[in-house]
Amino acid sequence: MSTHHREHRLLANAAAEQIARASGVVRHDIALTLGSGWAQAAGELGETLAVMPAHEIAGFRKPVLEGHSGEIRSVRLASGKHLLVIGARTHLYEGHGVAAVAHGVRTAAAAGVSTMILTNAAGSLRREWKPGTAVLIRDHINLTGQSSIEGATFIDMSEAYSRRLRELVLEVSPDIPEGVYVQFRGPQYETPAEVKMAGIMGGDLVGMSTTLETIAAREAGIEVLGISLATNLAAGVSAEPLSHEEVVAAGQAALPQLVELLRGVLDRL
Ligand code: 8IG
């Protein structure tokens, strides 16, 4: 194992220890990363045992985005399982590197998590997915040109987004559409030509997160469920220009359905 590897692991272990100390929960079962628009769901999933400002936990930073809570929360679910809610995500476009991006997942792994739910807000290539539509991520295309792992680590990605977990979501929400999420580095939104390219490649959603976290989770042996909230039609799909305010507003309007979906899934895990 490389020195880098060991440093990342040590930082994640330190963070997990802080979380265990603050919450009194030695091992968490499930982690949930909340993307833009999903933050408000955090308090509605079970009994909160502890809330911590993420920047007080090793390796996390203050969120730069409206729509991210910047909190890490330990929640006891009705089932008795322990959920770690990560309301702080570092994006590749912030420029802190891939290790910062993967830190939430590595912390979840160090906290004992075996299932990771990654949520995000995304642009949609499908006109029929109106702003506020939740979409199950079936697969991804990583266009960042980067990976969150290093070395001769040949992780199998043939079912990166667990079929078992997707089927479970379909039990809760039979009409939820499925799509392929394409991650661009950002921070600029795509040009219409780039969106068209993503579509030709087989993409349905465009965003700036998730794929590098999924890779880190698969490396750690964690089962991944990905859910996007389609908050805008991608550039060129609609005549409207893109705005972050639109994203936040669509998230707010969709919140009750998102909470219901998450609760349904968490109940079955
Ligand atoms: I919300 O249209 C949201 N995030 N790359 N493109 C990219 N990221 C996004 C978009 C979008 N909408």
* 178-189 CB burial, b ≥16 within 10 A, e <16: ebbbbbbebeeb
* 197's tokens: 């390219």
| Superfamily for the 3-268 domain | Nucleoside phosphorylase domain (3.40.50.1580)
In this predicted structure, the answer to whether residue 66 has a pLDDT above a threshold of 80 is no
What is the average per-residue pLDDT within 128-148? 96
In this predicted structure, the answer to whether residue 247 has a pLDDT above a threshold of 80 is no
Alpha-carbon distance of 44 to 17, in angstroms, equals 25
Residue partners of 12: CB distance under 8 A and separation at least 6: 59, 103, 106, 107, 109, 110
pLDDT band with cut points at 50, 70 and 90 for residue 64: confident
Instruction: Write the residue with the smallest CA distance to atom 11 of ligand 1.
Output: 123
The finding on whether 206 has its CB within 6 A of some atom of ligand 1 is: yes
Number of H helices, E strands in the chain: 6, 9
pTM for this entry: 0.95
What is the average per-residue pLDDT within 10-21? 97
In this predicted structure, the answer to whether residue 248 has a pLDDT above a threshold of 80 is no
Domain ranges of the chain: 3-268
pLDDT, position 1: 55
Say how many residues make up the chain. 269
Grouping H, G, I as helix, E, B as strand and the rest as coil, residue 44 is helix
190 in active site? yes
pLDDT, position 222: 98
From the list 7, 44, 159, 190, the catalytic residue is 190
CA 33 / ligand 1 centre spacing (Å) = 17
Instruction: Write the residue with the smallest CA distance to atom 7 of ligand 1.
Output: 207
pLDDT band with cut points at 50, 70 and 90 for residue 240: confident
For residue range 38-52, list pLDDT tens digits in order.
888 989 999 999 999
What is the average per-residue pLDDT within 165-183? 97
37 Cα nearest atom in ligand 1: 1
What is the average per-residue pLDDT within 78-107? 96
Mean pLDDT for all residues in the chain? 93
For 18-32, 59-73, 140-154, which range has the lowest pLDDT when averaged over its residues? Answer: 59-73
Single out the residue of 265, 252, 259, 35 nearest to residue 131, CA to CA. 252
